[in-house]
Amino acid sequence: MSLAWIREQHASWDAEKKSIIGAAPAGTFDARFADLRAGDALPNEWWRVEEDGGVVGYGWLDTVWGDAEIVLATAQPARGRGVGTFVLEHLEQEAHARGLNYLYNTVRPTHPEREDVTAWLVRRGFAPSSDGSLRRAVAIAAS
């Protein structure tokens, strides 16, 4: 598996995001994605993950008070193949390069696989915090 991490300079809603994020089961992501139209600008920083020229995942990072809020999305056929771990590692590298302190992610209460996704993040060093998010310190030397 050879994955490429590609920063989207001016991220916008497109067919690939719609097929991965927009087609996710209801409750997985923020409902606002359902209202987006092709070409709509997206906030903050986005990266796509490509394998053999096809998009297999996305990473999103928003800098908030010295921390990095992150979102990961993996195409259904690519799940279980390390794409999520690849995204997480690269988001951590991006956060480290910006001098940020923590990564955090909130698994929505409506997420159909909330327990599994939370457990996946906990296995990767995230800990639940009092506000419902999962947090992990950015490694000094991200791999």
Could you tell me the CA-to-CA distances from 42 to 17, 22, 60, 78, 124 in Å, in that order? 11, 13, 10, 24, 28
Measure the CA–CA gap between 81 and 83, rounded to whole angstroms: 6
Beta-carbon count within 10 A of 52 CB: 9
Could you tell me the CA-to-CA distances from 23 to 34, 67, 125 in Å, in that order? 9, 29, 28
Report the pLDDT value the prediction gives residue 105, as an integer from 0 to 100.
95
For the chain, 143 residues long, give each residue's pLDDT as a single digit of tens: 699 999 999 999 999 999 999 999 999 998 888 889 999 999 999 999 999 999 999 999 999 999 999 999 999 999 999 999 999 999 999 999 999 999 999 999 999 999 999 999 999 999 998 888 999 999 875 44
Report the pLDDT value the prediction gives residue 141, as an integer from 0 to 100.
59
